[in-house]
Amino acid sequence: MPIDESRTFLPVRIAVLTVSDTRGLAEDRSGDTLVARLTEAGHVLADRRIEKDDVETIVSRLHAWIGDPDVDCIITTGGTGVTGRDVTPEAIEQVAEKMIPGFGELFRMLSYQTIGTSTVQSRACACVSHGTYIFALPGSTGAVKDGWDGILRDQLDSRHRPCNFVELMPRLLER
């Protein structure tokens, strides 16, 4: 889909959360990939953290960023699989006001082109909570690339046509 160069680019303030029991910042390649892509696109890294695979810990971090006026969007990486420790979607469900089911569906469609039927093991998801977008991607660098390059790069670009998530931001809190 086209980028309308006649429109003004509006940078989004994005917080990045890596969910992992085993990684620190030095080993967080998927987080590094995401940060590089969002800053290269002209967005602002609002914050970056690594949290353990624990629902309450993830929910607490999400609430902190949802309540922060300097965060427009949260992108998580990790914890979206089907093992017992994968709890990112459960944490997101606890903070979600509106789910965005098409995000996970489109992510799996794009991922299928890369990893085939293994994509069914991903529970990538998205929602809106108190005016903040939350997108959950799997923890591999390939998944981050699929999610950013195939969906988020365009949907978080205010110039993308025919529509994008950025132009909806002023209306997310409407009742």
133 within 8 A of 62, measured Cβ to Cβ? no
Q: Determine the Cα–Cα distance for residues 125 and 19; give it in Å rounded to an integer.
A: 14
Calculate mean pLDDT across residues 135-164: 97
* Residue among 154, 137, 130 at smallest CA distance from 76: 137
How is residue 157 written in tokens? 């670009």
Q: How many other CB atoms are there within 10 angstroms of residue 109's CB atom? A: 13
Smallest CA-to-CA distance from 70 within 126, 14, 16 is with 14
Query: How many CB atoms are located within 10 Å of the residue 5 CB?
Result: 7
Residue-level pLDDT at 1: 62
Q: What is the pLDDT of residues 45-93, one digit of tens each?
A: 999 999 999 999 999 999 999 999 999 999 999 999 999 999 999 999 9
The predicted pLDDT at position 28 comes to 95
Q: Among candidates 154, 149, 156, which has minimal Cα distance to 46?
A: 156
Of residues 146, 115, 144, the one with CA closest to residue 36:
144
Q: Are 159 and 165 in contact (CB under 8 A)?
A: no
pLDDT in tens, 13-26: 999 999 999 888 88
